[in-house]
Structure 1
Amino acid sequence: MEIRYITPSDDRMQVSRIYEESWKCVYKNIIPQKFLDSIEEGSWATVLDSPGWNTLVCVEDGKYIGTSSFCKSRFSDYPTYGEIISIYLLPDYIGKGYGGKLFDKAVSELKKQGYEKLLLWVLEDNTSAKEFYIKHNFIQTDNVMNDDIGGKQLREVMYVSKNEK
């Protein structure tokens, strides 16, 4: 397994496929099924190179199996924080340790960039992700934001690295 920064030669459609398959699996029964079914191939291909974002890919035996994006906090209330924007794996690789390694690499890279305080947002109903972040030394804060995804009102909760609440 290799975890590295995305390069210009990496197949953006294959990396986008990780998001697509992960969303359809992880958010089943959280996000409306009609919305999940409507996710088009390549939906995330263009955001992987967003200005200011860093994107990692996790590759196993030549196959893209995971990805994580991170950056300086996108939220003006947290200008000194690094932010983990996303971490996704193909469904067959969830729960096998790849996510922890990918997450640890994203945290390490943010620390190398000088961020001592880190934040991320997670859907309130995504119990397994919340447990994952707690296991990786993040704690839930009282900060929430509302989202409308597929016509359903959902709440996201902010987690921060320990000692940053």
Structure 2
Amino acid sequence: MARSYTRPMIRSAVPADAQAIGGVKVRAWRNAYADFMSHDYLHGLDPMSEAGEWAEYLTEIPDEQRLWIAQEDDVVVGFCRTGPSDEEQDRDLGSRAAEVYGLYIEPDRIGTGLGRRLFAHAVDDLEERGHRPLCVYAYVPNTVAIRFYQRAGFRPDGTTRASEDGGVELVEARLVKPDSTR
């Protein structure tokens, strides 16, 4: 029997959301990265430690960054963080380029449209604030995420960056949503 969910509300995160965000991140990472990050690393992630880092971030969030949360019945079920792209790594995209730094949802919400709706909200906000083009990076082994971003109109452009997350060296591929205003 299919489980029914309330349509989520999307809003800006506040410091009081930090504990919920930390929990979502840990569960999402354990689910999404199990095939290519160390089991010990993923199961060593601590939701309370994550919550502390998110609380600090939310009290000092830079003006150009946003942290959006999806909430169902007062429960945080996903989040998406955005802001300017890396001036050094993404200089070829221009000075108004922006990045979706991360999109994470509760594993049991995958396939419900929650991720698509939250991602679209974050992308719309960036575009409304004049950011173009937009990019997102995804771990190369994470083909599910890469397909998700491609369905949202982002295309791999051949740019990569090295990352050391999860106790292993990984490569992230850049996907770009073309600037339709050029």
What TM-score results when the alignment is normalised by the length of structure 2? 0.83
1:38-57 correspondence to structure 2 within 5 Å: 38-45=44-51, 46-47=53-54, 48-49=57-58, 50-51=61-62, 52-57=64-69
Partner of 1:118: 134
1:69-148 correspondence to structure 2 within 5 Å: 69-76=81-88, 77=91, 78=93, 79-148=95-164
Partner of 2:37: 31
How far apart are 1:43 and its partner, in Å? 3.8
How far apart are 1:162 and its partner, in Å? 3.3
Q: Which runs of 5+ in 2 are unaligned?
A: 1-7
Deviations 1:74-122 (A, max 9, x none): 2332432011001000111111100000000000110111112101110
1:7 equivalent in alignment to 2:14: yes
If you compute each CA radius of gyration, which structure gives the higher value, 1 or 2?
Answer: 2
3-state SS of the aligned residue for 1:42?
helix
| Residue pair 1:20, 1:43 contacting (<8 A) in 2 also | no
Structure with greater helix share of residues: 2
How far apart are 1:16 and its partner, in Å? 1.3
1:58 equivalent in alignment to 2:81: no
Q: Which consecutive aligned stretches of 4+ in structure 1 deviate over 6 angstroms post-superposition?
A: none
How far apart are 1:11 and its partner, in Å? 2.5
3-state SS of the aligned residue for 2:19?
helix
Quick one: which amino acid aligns to residue 59 of structure 1?
Q
What TM-score results when the alignment is normalised by the length of structure 1? 0.92
Partner of 2:4: none
Alignment length, in residue pairs? 163
Measure the CA separation in 1 of the matches of 2:112 and 2:101.
Answer: 21
Aligned-pair identity (%): 25
| Residue pair 2:134, 2:179 contacting (<8 A) in 1 also | no
Quick one: which amino acid aligns to residue 126 of structure 1?
N
| Residue pair 1:58, 1:65 contacting (<8 A) in 2 also | yes
Q: Which runs of 5+ in 1 are unaligned?
A: none
Please give the root-mean-square deviation of Cα atoms over the aligned residues, in Å. 1.6
| Residue pair 1:55, 1:68 contacting (<8 A) in 2 also | yes
